[in-house]
Amino acid sequence: MKIIIASKNKGKLTEFQQLATGTKLEFIPIPEEKLEIPEESGSTFRENALIKAKFVSEYFSLPALADDSGLEVDALNGNPGIYSARYSSQKTDQANCEKLLENMRGLNKKERSARFRCCLLGYNQGKIVSSEGTLEGEIAVDFRGEKGFGYDPIFLLPKLGLHLAELDKDEKNKISHRSEAFKEINDKLHSLFN
Ligand code: IMP
Q: Is residue 170's pLDDT more than 90?
A: no
Q: Which of 20-29, 40-49, 61-70 has the lowest mean pLDDT?
A: 20-29
pLDDT of amino acid 187:
84
Q: Is residue 106's pLDDT more than 90?
A: yes
46-70 b/e (C-beta count within 10 Å ≥ 16 → b): bebbbbbbbbbbebbeebbbbbbbb
Instruction: Identify whether 68 is a catalytic site residue.
Output: yes
pLDDT of amino acid 80:
98
- What band does 161 get if pLDDT is binned at 50, 70 and 90? very high
Atom of ligand 1 nearest to the CA of 164: 20
Atom of ligand 1 nearest to the CA of 9: 4
Share of the chain above pLDDT 70, in %: 100
* DSSP output for 89-125: SS--HHHHHHHHHHHTTT--GGG-EEEEEEEEEEEET
pTM of the shown model: 0.92
Domains and CATH numbers, the chain: 2-193 (3.90.950.10)
Ligand 1 mean position to 194 CA, how many Å?
32
Q: Is residue 176's pLDDT more than 90?
A: yes
The Cα 117–Cα 133 span in angstroms is: 6
pLDDT of amino acid 22:
85
Atom of ligand 1 nearest to the CA of 135: 19
pLDDT of amino acid 34:
87
pLDDT of 30-44, one tens digit each? Answer: 998 888 888 889 999
Mean per-residue pLDDT over the chain, rounded: 94
The residues lining ligand 1, judged by C-beta closer than 6 Å to any ligand atom, are 67-71, 84-85, 96, 116, 148-152, 176
Pocket residue to mutate for ligand 1, from 65, 67, 82, 149, most atoms within 8 A of Cβ: 149
Q: Which of 67, 68, 93, 142 is catalytic?
A: 68
Ligand 1 mean position to 141 CA, how many Å?
19
